[in-house]
């Protein structure tokens, strides 16, 4: 089955740029979606279809996807961005299903 690989943790000082990667075999041929989950809360969609932002999500959040890596980029990181981030795809294999990455803990130093 399809596997998405994320780094367990990423740390960045406030005001800097955080990049969270999501690796998968030819992931550039799939649509990647990203969720933010703060402690004790439900996940929130922050990027869909690789680059689109839902209403209410700051422009500081952006996404890209090419080759074997998709990336969530958070510019001008704020303390409130500290959370777990998950990538997700729909795998249209012989047994279509949802796949989540293992998640990345973003720490704002």
Partner 1 sequence: EVQLVQSGAEVKKPGESLKISCKGSGYSFTGYWIGWVRQLPGKGLEWMGIIYAGDSETRYSPSFQGQVTISADKSISTAYLQWSNLKASDTAMYYCASAPDVSGIPYYFDYWGPGTLVTVSS
Which stretches of the chain bind partner 1, using CB under 8 A?
1, 31, 33, 35, 37, 42-45, 48-49, 54, 84, 86, 88, 90, 92, 95-103
Cβ neighbours around 101 below 10 Å, total? 24
Shortest distance, CB of residue 86 to partner 1, whole angstroms? Answer: 5
Instruction: Provide the minimum distance between the beta carbon of 107 and partner 1 in the complex, in angstroms, as a whole number.
Output: 16
Minimum CB separation from partner 1 for residue 76, in Å? Answer: 25
Structure tokens at 53: 């932002």
Tokens 């080759």 belong to residue:
67
- Nearer to partner 1 by Cβ, of 15 and 54: the residue is 54
**Residue 16 DSSP symbol:** S
Specify whether the backbone of 76 is left (phi greater than 0), alpha (psi in -120 to 50) or beta. Answer: left
């Amino acid at each position: 089955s399809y596997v998405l690989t994320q780094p367990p943790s990423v740390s960045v000082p406030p005001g800097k740029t955080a990049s969270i990667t999501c690796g998968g075999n030819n992931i550039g041929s799939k649509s990647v979606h990203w969720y933010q989950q703060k402690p004790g809360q439900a996940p929130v969609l922050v990027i869909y279809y690789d680059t689109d932002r839902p209403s209410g999500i700051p422009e500081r959040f952006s996404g890209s996807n090419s080759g074997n890596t998709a990336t969530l980029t958070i510019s001008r990181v704020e303390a409130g961005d500290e959370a777990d981030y998950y990538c997700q795809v729909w795998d249209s294999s012989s047994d279509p299903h949802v796949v989540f990455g293992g998640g990345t803990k973003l720490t704002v130093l």
